[in-house]
C-alpha cells in the first residue's frame, strides 16, 4: 500500500501569509504620519492614489527616481543597526530627484527578505517613514516580499521609488557656461556607495575597537532636499549633481553640456575620517578614490559667478555649509588640482 504523502503548506516552504498580514496591519500607524493633503487613500489598496490638484504649475511634468542602498545594508544587518538605513534609501532617491529642480511628492519602498521578522522589519519601515518626514514626502505604498532561497538567514534588501513635480520651463540644469562656479556640500561619510570595498577592508582588520569606525561608516546618507527646495537657492542655481557611485569624476559631467568641463580644487574641503580610513586602508590612488567614494562632497551646486555672494549668504542663512571647490571651463575631462586632505 502506497503511503499517503503529507501536504506541504506555503508556510512549510518558507512564506508565512498570516505573519505578512500582521505586518501590514502595523503599517498605517507607522506611515500615515507622513501623508500630506494630496494622499487620497491609505495603505492596503491595490494602488496608491495621489492628487496633483494643489500643484499650481503652468507646465507640470512628473519626475521619477529609483535606487537602493547597495551592500551598506549588509553592514547594517551585521551590526543589527537599522536606525539609519531608511534615510539611506530615501536620500539616495530624493537627492537624485531634486537634481532636476523637482519638488518631491511621494515615495514607495520595496523590502525583500528571507523570513519576515515583524519586530526587526518594522524598525526598517519606521526608519524609512522618519526619513520621508524629514524630506517632506508621503510614504504612500510599497511591497514586502518573503523570498526564501533568494535570501538566507537575516538578509534583506531595499529599493525605493520617488516621484516629484517640476515646471517644464524651470527644470534643471539650465544653461551652464565657462566661468560659472562650483560649490560642494559636505557628505556625512561614504553615504551609500563603496561598501563592497569597505566591507572587504573591515574583514581584513584584525584589531579590536572598530565599533566607533563602523558607526561612523553607517552614518545615514545626508538629505539635501531642503537645501535644493529653498526658493532663493533654487532660483540662483544652474544645476545640481548628487555625488554617488563613481564619485565626482563620473557624476559632475552628467550635468555639463557638450564641450564643458571643470577644474576642481581637491584641497578646498575636508575629507571625513571614515573616508580617510577607507582610502588609506585600500591604498587607493587619488584617481581611484575620486571614482570610488564621494571623498567628502555629497552634493554639488553650480552657480553664476555674479550670484556667488547671494548664494553663500542664503546657504548660511538656512544653516547649510557650502564650500567653493571649482569652476566651469571648456574641455572634455575634469581637471583635478591639488591633493585630497587625507593625511
Question: Which grid coordinates are listed for 227?
Answer: 537645501
CB atoms within 10 A of CB 130: 19
Among 136, 170, 204, the domain boundary falls at: 170
Strand bridging mode 323-330 / 260-265: antiparallel
Q: How far is CA 66 from the centre of its chain?
A: 10
For residue 240, is it within any domain? yes
Model pLDDT, residue 158: 96
Tens of pLDDT, residues 24-49 = 888 888 999 999 999 999 888 899 99
What's the rounded Cα separation, in Å, for the pair 264 and 247? 13
Q: Report yes or no: 109 and 89 within 8 Å, Cβ to Cβ.
A: yes
Q: Tens of pLDDT along 68-97?
A: 999 999 999 999 999 999 999 999 999 999
If asked whether residues 161 and 220 sit together in one domain, one would say: no
- Asked whether residue 67 falls in the same domain as residue 147, the answer is yes
Lowest mean pLDDT among 10-19, 98-107, 229-238, 266-275: 10-19
Domain count, the chain: 2
Separation of alpha carbons 229 and 175, rounded Å: 19
pLDDT for the residue 55: 86
Using the CB atoms, write b or e for 274-304: b if 16+ within 10 Å.
bbbbbbeebebeeeebbbbbbbbbbbbbbbb
Same domain flag for 150 and 124:
yes
Report if residue 3 sits inside a domain: no
Q: Which among 174, 151, 200, 191 is positioned nearest to 299, based on CA atoms?
A: 191
**Average pLDDT of every residue of the chain:** 93
116 shares its domain with 200: no
3-state secondary structure of 183: strand
**DSSP label at residue 151:** B
Is there a domain that residue 324 lies in? yes
326 within a domain of the structure (yes/no): yes
Domain with 207 in it: what CATH number? 3.90.650.10
130-156 pLDDT, tens digit each: 999 999 999 999 999 999 989 888 899
Q: Which domain holds residue 238?
A: 181-337
Quickly state the pLDDT bin for 12 (edges 50, 70, 90): confident
User: Does the residue 111 lie in any domain?
Assistant: yes
The pTM score is 0.94
160: Cβ–Cβ under 8 A, 6 or more apart, which residues? 66, 67, 68, 89, 90, 92, 93, 107, 108, 109, 110, 128
Q: What's 93's domain CATH number?
A: 3.30.1330.10
List, in sequence order, every residue forming a beta bridge with 103; answer none if it has no partner.
165
Write the DSSP symbol of residue 221. Answer: P
Per DSSP, 36 falls in state: -
DSSP code for 305:
G
Question: Do 81 and 45 share a structural domain?
Answer: yes
153 shares a domain with 218 = no
Q: Which of 170, 194, 212 is the last residue of a domain?
A: 170
Pick from 144, 170, 196: which residue ends a domain? 170
148 and 229: one domain?
no
Q: Based on the fold, state whether residues 151 and 274 are members of the same structural domain.
A: no
The reply to whether 160 and 228 lie within a common domain is: no
Q: Mean pLDDT, to the nearest integer, of 256-262?
A: 93
Q: Which of 8-12, 161-165, 314-318 has the lowest mean pLDDT?
A: 8-12
pLDDT at 207: 61
Predicted pLDDT of residue 20? 84
Per the CB < 8 A criterion, the answer to whether 19 and 119 are in contact is no
Same domain, yes or no, for 142 and 32? Answer: yes
Would you say 232 and 309 are in contact if contact means Cβ atoms under 8 Å apart?
no
297-336 pLDDT tens trace: 999 999 999 999 999 999 999 999 999 999 999 999 999 9
Burial of 113 (0-12, 13-18, 19+ CB in 10 A): buried
Same domain, 279 and 164: no
Q: Does residue 176 fall inside a structural domain?
A: no
216 and 333 co-located in one domain: yes
CA distance linking residue 278 with residue 247, whole number of Å = 14
Q: How far is CA 142 from CA 28, 65, 170, in A?
A: 12, 15, 30
3-state class (DSSP) for residue 78:
helix
Decide which of 251 and 17 is more confident.
251
Within a domain: 137: yes
Is residue 1 pLDDT above 90, yes or no? no
Task: Provide the CA 293 distance to its chain's centre, in angstroms.
Answer: 14
- What grid cell was written down for 185? 556640500
12 is a domain residue = no
pLDDT of residue 208: 60
Amino acid at each position: 500500500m502506497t503511503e499517503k504523502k503529507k501536504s506541504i503548506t506555503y508556510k512549510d516552504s518558507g512564506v508565512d501569509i498570516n505573519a505578512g498580514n500582521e505586518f501590514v496591519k502595523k503599517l498605517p500607524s507607522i506611515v500615515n504620519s507622513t501623508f500630506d493633503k494630496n494622499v487620497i487613500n491609505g495603505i492596503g489598496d491595490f494602488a496608491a492614489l495621489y492628487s496633483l490638484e494643489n500643484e499650481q504649475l503652468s507646465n507640470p511634468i512628473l519626475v521619477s527616481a529609483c535606487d537602493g542602498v547597495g551592500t551598506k545594508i549588509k553592514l547594517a544587518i551585521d551590526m543589527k543597526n537599522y536606525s539609519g538605513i531608511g534615510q539611506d534609501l530615501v536620500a539616495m532617491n530624493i537627492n537624485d530627484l531634486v537634481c532636476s529642480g523637482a519638488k518631491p511628492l511621494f515615495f514607495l519602498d520595496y523590502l525583500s527578505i528571507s523570513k519576515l521578522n515583524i519586530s526587526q522589519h518594522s524598525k526598517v519601515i519606521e526608519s524609512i517613514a522618519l526619513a520621508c518626514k524629514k524630506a517632506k514626502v508621503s510614504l504612500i505604498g510599497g511591497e514586502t516580499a518573503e523570498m526564501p532561497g533568494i535570501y538566507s538567514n537575516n538578509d534583506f534588501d531595499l529599493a525605493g521609488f520617488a516621484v516629484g513635480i517640476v515646471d517644464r520651463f524651470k527644470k534643471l540644469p539650465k544653461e551652464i557656461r565657462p566661468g560659472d562656479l562650483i560649490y560642494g556640500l559636505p557628505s556625512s561619510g561614504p553615504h551609500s556607495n563603496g561598501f563592497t570595498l569597505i566591507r572587504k577592508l573591515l574583514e581584513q582588520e584584525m584589531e579590536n575597537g572598530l565599533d566607533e569606525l563602523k558607526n561612523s561608516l553607517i552614518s545615514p546618507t545626508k538629505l539635501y532636499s531642503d537645501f535644493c527646495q529653498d526658493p532663493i537657492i533654487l532660483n540662483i542655481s544652474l544645476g545640481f549633481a548628487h555625488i554617488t557611485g563613481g564619485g565626482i569624476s563620473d557624476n559632475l559631467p552628467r550635468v555639463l553640456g557638450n564641450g564643458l568641463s571643470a577644474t576642481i580644487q581637491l584641497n578646498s574641503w575636508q575629507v571625513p575620517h571614515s573616508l580617510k580610513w577607507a582610502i588609506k586602508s585600500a591604498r587607493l590612488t587619488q584617481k581611484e578614490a575620486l571614482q570610488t567614494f564621494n571623498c567628502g562632497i555629497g552634493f554639488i551646486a553650480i552657480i553664476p559667478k555674479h550670484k556667488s555672494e547671494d548664494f553663500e549668504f542664503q546657504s548660511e542663512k538656512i544653516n547649510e555649509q557650502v564650500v567653493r571647490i571649482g569652476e566651469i571651463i571648456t574641455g572634455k575631462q575634469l581637471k583635478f588640482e591639488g591633493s585630497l586632505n587625507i593625511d
